[in-house]
Amino acid sequence: MKTYDWIVVGGGITGTALSYELSQVGFSVLLLEQDRIAQNATRYSYGGIPYWSGTSISTQQLCAEGIARQRQLPDELDANTEFRQLDLLLTIELDRDPKEIADLYHKCLIPLTSIDPATACELEPLLNPDSIAGALTVSHAHVNAQLLTQAYHAAFIRAGGESQNVRVEQISQGSVRSDRGETFAGQNIAVCAGGLSRSLLKRSGIDARIYFTHAEVIETAPTDLKLRTIVMPADMQRFQLESEASAVGVDRLWDAPSSELMPPSIDPGAIQFFDRTMRLGQFSRLLTDPYAKIDAKQSELEIRAKIGKLLPSLATLPGTWHHCLVAFSHDSLPSIGTLPESENLYLFSGFTSPMVFVPPLAKRFATSLVGTRDEIIPQFSPQRFA
């Protein structure tokens, strides 16, 4: 049996970017992805690149590297990733104080501009001015996350990487076993299984402080309506939920087979892609069962009702409801590195803004394995939660 330098589990944005970068520094890599047709978080992502959002020296440096890398990747990977600059509009609910909300962003690398509802509507004519107290805006960037992932994957294969459609059932020291009983040997194993990372590690006898939300969006058919910006709430409820549901005291509740840790939330937002489809979202639920059944009809109605207040003409567009899992960590920062007491088993997951942070961190991680020690990677060790 061939022993690979690295086995990477999961073929979303994290797994493909990491596989590509590992192959670029000379490692033999096997990427294992369970699904032939992606139904993952990357598939349903808005694809926003918040390169303005870094608040610490490290995240600000990564923001600068992330946007530079996104600009460079279409050439390097020889593919169109639909990268573009696109204004972001962060809406402020009627009952909130715009100044208080603006203060939440005061540490960001690039300052945001506060605007009144009328100015917000000049930027985004589909917006209902009576639904907001104001907005914040900043120059943002956008990528088609699915195209970027396919581009990383194709470049990885061209570089000699191997990939197979296999569901990994269990991980042991130096190998992984599939649900069909095959074994694959790797000197190092990286878990990039997104929202399923937690359960995969648990099945392998490893506890890790990595969590997931159930996310739900509506994908519309192509439309002649034109959304000029990415619209999202300035105060995302999802981040609050994630922080509370991963606090130390709550952590053990994740091991309950089927429970709802917090009431769900909807963060009304919208983005339009080059093919004129839109994604309207986003429901977030904290259900400990990754396979929990969700009432799709009810959920779609509730998303449409919220969108209808903010962006009325979008609420009735024909579309389909979709569900996926999104990984997160307690402090919203990625988890990169070995897991406690598990030498050669790495986690590369939990990115809250992967479109800006994954490209530079995958590259830094790979180069740190063959060169000098990276000063940023150790800050994201999963062992910071131990």
Ligand X SMILES: Cc1cc2nc3c(=O)[nH]c(=O)nc-3n(C[C@H](O)[C@H](O)[C@H](O)COP(=O)(O)OP(=O)(O)OC[C@H]3O[C@@H](n4cnc5c(N)ncnc54)[C@H](O)[C@@H]3O)c2cc1C
- Stretch touching ligand X by CB under 6 A, among 89-97, 192-200, 233-241, 371-379: 192-200
Give the largest Cα separation in the chain, rounded.
65
Alpha carbon distance 214, 222 (integer Å): 25
Q: Which of 4, 11, 127, 135 binds ligand X (CB under 6 A)?
A: 11
The CB density around residue 109, as the number of other CB atoms within 10 Å, is: 17
User: Residue 193, interface with ligand X (CB under 6 A)?
Assistant: yes
- Of 47, 300, 10, the C-alpha closest to 165 is 10
Alpha carbon distance 155, 17 (integer Å): 10
Alpha carbon distance 9, 23 (integer Å): 15
- DSSP assignment letter at 126: T
Q: Which of 45, 81, 137, 144 binds ligand X (CB under 6 A)?
A: 45
Q: Which of 9, 31, 73, 287 binds ligand X (CB under 6 A)?
A: 9
User: Residue 52, interface with ligand X (CB under 6 A)?
Assistant: no
Q: Which is nearer to ligand X, 47 or 98 (CB)?
A: 47
Q: Which is nearer to ligand X, 117 or 166 (CB)?
A: 166
Alpha carbon distance 369, 69 (integer Å): 20
Q: Which of 31, 126, 326, 339 binds ligand X (CB under 6 A)?
A: 326
Number of residues that bind ligand X (CB under 6 A): 41
**Half-sphere exposure at residue 44, Cβ-oriented, CA atoms within 13 angstroms:** 22
User: Residue 62, interface with ligand X (CB under 6 A)?
Assistant: no
Q: Which two tokens stand for residue 369?
A: 């394995």
170: β partners: 177
Q: Which is nearer to ligand X, 40 or 114 (CB)?
A: 40
Residues 25-44 close enough to bind ligand X by CB under 6 A: 32-35, 38, 40-42, 44
The CB density around residue 305, as the number of other CB atoms within 10 Å, is: 12
User: Residue 204, interface with ligand X (CB under 6 A)?
Assistant: no
- Stretch touching ligand X by CB under 6 A, among 63-71, 130-138, 188-196, 245-253: 188-196
Alpha carbon distance 360, 58 (integer Å): 12
Q: Which two tokens stand for residue 144?
A: 């088609």
Question: How far is Cα of residue 305 from the mean position of the Cα atoms in its chain?
Answer: 25
From residue 244 to residue 283, the character string flagging contacts with ligand X as x (rule: CB under 6 A) and all else as - is: -------------------------------------xx-
Residues 343-361: b if buried by 16+ CB within 10 A, e if exposed: eebbbbbbbbbbbbbbbbb
Q: Which is nearer to ligand X, 34 or 237 (CB)?
A: 34
Least Å distance between CB 372 and ligand X? Answer: 27
Residues 140-159 close enough to bind ligand X by CB under 6 A: 145
Q: Which is nearer to ligand X, 132 or 271 (CB)?
A: 271
User: Residue 319, interface with ligand X (CB under 6 A)?
Assistant: no
Signed CA dihedral, 279, 282, 286, 287: sign only: negative
Least Å distance between CB 130 and ligand X? Answer: 26
Interacting residues with ligand X (CB under 6 A): 9-15, 32-35, 38, 40-42, 44-48, 145, 167-168, 192-196, 200, 215, 217, 281-282, 324, 326-327, 349, 351, 353-355
